[in-house]
Amino acid sequence: MMSTNQVNYLDAVVLGAGFSGLYMLHSLREAGFTTRVYEAGDGVGGVWYWNRYPGARCDIESIYYNYSFSKELYQEWTWTSRFPEQPEILRYLNFVADKFDLRRDIQFNTRISAVHYDETSNRWKVQMNDGTSVTAKYFISGAGCLSAANLPKFNGLESFKGEWYHTGKWPQEKVDFKGKRVGVIGTGSSGVQAIPVIAKEADHLTVFQRTPQYTMPARNHPYASEFINQTKANFNEIKRQMRESPTGNGIQIRTISALSDPPEKRHQVYEKAWEEGGYALTSAYYDLFINEEANHTAADFIRSKIKEIVRNPEIAEKLLPNYYFGTKRPILDTDYYETFNRENVTLVDVKKAPIVEITPKGLRTKEMEYELDILIFATGYDGLTGPLFKIDIRGKDGVSLKEKWKEGSMVRTYLGLATAGFPNFFMITGPESPSVLVNMPTAIEQHVEWITDCLDYLREHNVEIFETTVEAEEAWSKHCREVAEMTLYVKTDSWYTGANIAGKPRSFLIYLGGFDTYKHKCNEVAASGYNGFTLSIKDVLSEKGSI
């Protein structure tokens, strides 16, 4: 069952029925707020609803890639393997929606197109693409960080006679690759996961690679029932690891420097991590992403692995990455490099010979035309701000979020949760929060619980308008940038820095200080009565929580 009945007023409107929107709805409903989620898709799942491409799989271990707010839920759901596949995560989120009876307050097939703040009533007017609208005291975005697909402008796409798809908007029906000549543009996480699976089915696969990536074996395997029983029995410890660690998951980063081990010992450490799979290698030493020399040791190791795995030295050479390891998201794969040993796979370097156009028959680079039946864009997303910019969000004085964040080419938020000039507006895992560089479900739960506690406080104290101050957001944004500048992340062009989108201002919009530190800061703000925010009780303005 899903909600379609028209409502006029809600305490809170939540955008999106992914991990964020589902828990936000549950949490606010439990706290007694009238809430509705609006979702463009016809089902729950968010990013896991849209990303149905072959091989789609999470890179965080299943037992941590879930909610921890309900012990009962944790006991009732059983993951089947170490790294969950997209269909299994989608089943999990449907299970959550059913268990907590969430669908009755979710309106599917409805895209929020505009959200305007009315200063006379202190309410948000939320406009849907079907012409309906609703008024709400609070507007909460659960749009996620990676929901605005990036389809680069290639001349001639409309002339292409074959089928084409973007990994982030994959159809619900199976795409049949049998007997087909398939091309994939892009070798980020999505491309690297899809390529080995498509290669096994297609007649021929051509991979158009611009930047070779560092990818490590996931070493996925089914979970033994004893292991599952053990994790369920250890729920409290798993929850603690999720909620009180720097990464929000079970990954422990070793506290020694890569440079403190002699080369032979270091090699053994990397070999062991490579065999263990997952992100063992990224956490082998604490300084891999802050020290150039340390970084080189891991990068050299992975390059040596590529040369070992790929039999043709020319192809291996093309696959060797040469940016700072980990500064684009490190990837976990299943047989990615091995795929380039197959007879039916061709690797094309489009940095050397750029794509010129899409033709009716396929794709033309500066060197030649490739005939294709199916073309796949694994070209990523306009991350972090892109999902918010898809909606016409306007705060005080009719200023749009897009205008505000364009000015001076800089995004400004306080804690990644709020932004000045947009009262009663919250972003779950917004720009300048830890978001995608920690375990997303953990980051989401922390924001949902902080927002729920905040709304509870505002209700208890009769607060009408809750808005962060310009000073608080300036200070937070500056702090975020300073932390990022201490790392190697800022030295690489990536979607983290906005460099993947033409014309997008370049800045690093993820807080890198660690999830535990960040959570502590958010808790301090709440405990202080919301320092850094202005709280207005009816007509009386009160600065920084002194109400």
Stretch in the footprint of ligand NAP (CB under 6 A) among 231-239, 373-381, 508-516, 522-530:
373-381
Residue 443 CB neighbours (<10 A) = 27
Angle at 332 between CA 327 and CA 338, to 5 degrees: 115
Does 57 help bind ligand NAP (rule: CB under 6 A)? yes
Does 329 help bind ligand NAP (rule: CB under 6 A)? yes
DSSP string, 34-51: -EEEE-SSSSS-THHHH-
Does 433 help bind ligand NAP (rule: CB under 6 A)? no
8 Å CB contact between 424 and 125: no
Does 21 help bind ligand NAP (rule: CB under 6 A)? no
Cβ-based nearer residue to ligand NAP, 295 or 536? 295
Stretch in the footprint of ligand NAP (CB under 6 A) among 170-178, 199-207, 374-382, 459-467:
374-382
Does 491 help bind ligand NAP (rule: CB under 6 A)? no
Q: How far is the CB of 345 from ligand NAP (least distance, A)?
A: 16
Q: How far is CA 466 from CA 8, 143, 159, 540, in A?
A: 22, 21, 51, 12
Q: How far is the CB of 158 from ligand NAP (least distance, A)?
A: 17
Q: How far is the CB of 58 from ligand NAP (least distance, A)?
A: 5
Backbone angles phi, psi at 109, to 5 degrees: 50, 30
Q: Tell which one of 152, 246, 250, 321 touches ligand NAP (CB under 6 A).
A: 152
Q: How far apart are the first and last CA of the chain?
A: 43
Residue 451 CB neighbours (<10 A) = 22
Does 508 help bind ligand NAP (rule: CB under 6 A)? no
Binding mask of the shown chain, residues 235 to 274, with x at each position contacting ligand NAP by CB under 6 A = ----------------------------------------
| H or E, element range at 162 | none
Q: Tell which one of 99, 169, 210, 402 touches ligand NAP (CB under 6 A).
A: 210
Q: Tell which one of 37, 58, 417, 420 touches ligand NAP (CB under 6 A).
A: 58
Cβ-based nearer residue to ligand NAP, 386 or 423? 386
Cβ-based nearer residue to ligand NAP, 379 or 534? 379
Q: Tell which one of 31, 41, 59, 228 touches ligand NAP (CB under 6 A).
A: 59
SS3 state at 121: coil
Stretch in the footprint of ligand NAP (CB under 6 A) among 179-187, 224-232, 256-264, 392-400:
179-187
CA atoms within a 13 Å half-sphere pointing along the CA-CB vector of 44: 29
8 Å CB contact between 281 and 273: yes
Does 381 help bind ligand NAP (rule: CB under 6 A)? yes
Residue nearest to ligand NAP (CB): 188
Q: Tell which one of 54, 142, 144, 186 touches ligand NAP (CB under 6 A).
A: 186
Give the number of residues in contact with ligand NAP, rule: CB under 6 A: 26
Does 350 help bind ligand NAP (rule: CB under 6 A)? yes
Look-up of token digits 């307050």:
105
> Which residue(s) pair with 329 in the sheet?
none
Q: Which two tokens stand for residue 94?
A: 């449907």
Q: How far is the CB of 508 from ligand NAP (least distance, A)?
A: 14
3-state helix/strand/coil string of 391-411? CEEECHHHCEHHHHHHHHHCC
Look-up of token digits 């202190």:
122
Does 184 help bind ligand NAP (rule: CB under 6 A)? no
Does 495 help bind ligand NAP (rule: CB under 6 A)? yes
Cβ-based nearer residue to ligand NAP, 188 or 248? 188
Cβ-based nearer residue to ligand NAP, 259 or 499? 499
How many helices (H) does the chain have, and how many strands (E)? Answer: 16, 21
Does 477 help bind ligand NAP (rule: CB under 6 A)? no
Residue 347 CB neighbours (<10 A) = 21
Q: Which two tokens stand for residue 148?
A: 């605005």
Q: How far is the CB of 140 from ligand NAP (least distance, A)?
A: 23
SS3 state at 147: coil
Cβ-based nearer residue to ligand NAP, 146 or 522? 146
Q: How far is the CB of 332 from ligand NAP (least distance, A)?
A: 6
Q: How far is the CB of 13 from ligand NAP (least distance, A)?
A: 27
Cβ-based nearer residue to ligand NAP, 182 or 418? 182
* Edge-to-edge strand ranges of the sheet holding 533-537: 463-468, 533-537, 540-542
Distance between CA atoms of 482 and 126, rounded to whole angstroms? 36
> Which residue(s) pair with 14 in the sheet?
37, 140
Cβ-based nearer residue to ligand NAP, 41 or 529? 41
- Strand 181-185 with 204-209, pairing: parallel
Does 404 help bind ligand NAP (rule: CB under 6 A)? no
Q: How far is the CB of 278 from ligand NAP (least distance, A)?
A: 11
Cβ-based nearer residue to ligand NAP, 383 or 545? 383
Burial bucket for residue 151 (CB in 10 Å: 0-12, 13-18, 19+): middle
Helix axes 292-309, 263-276, angle to 10 degrees: 60
Residue 414 CB neighbours (<10 A) = 24
Q: Which two tokens stand for residue 433?
A: 């929060």
**What are the residues binding ligand NAP (CB under 6 A)?**
57-59, 146, 152, 167, 185-191, 193, 210-211, 329, 350, 355, 378-381, 436, 495, 500
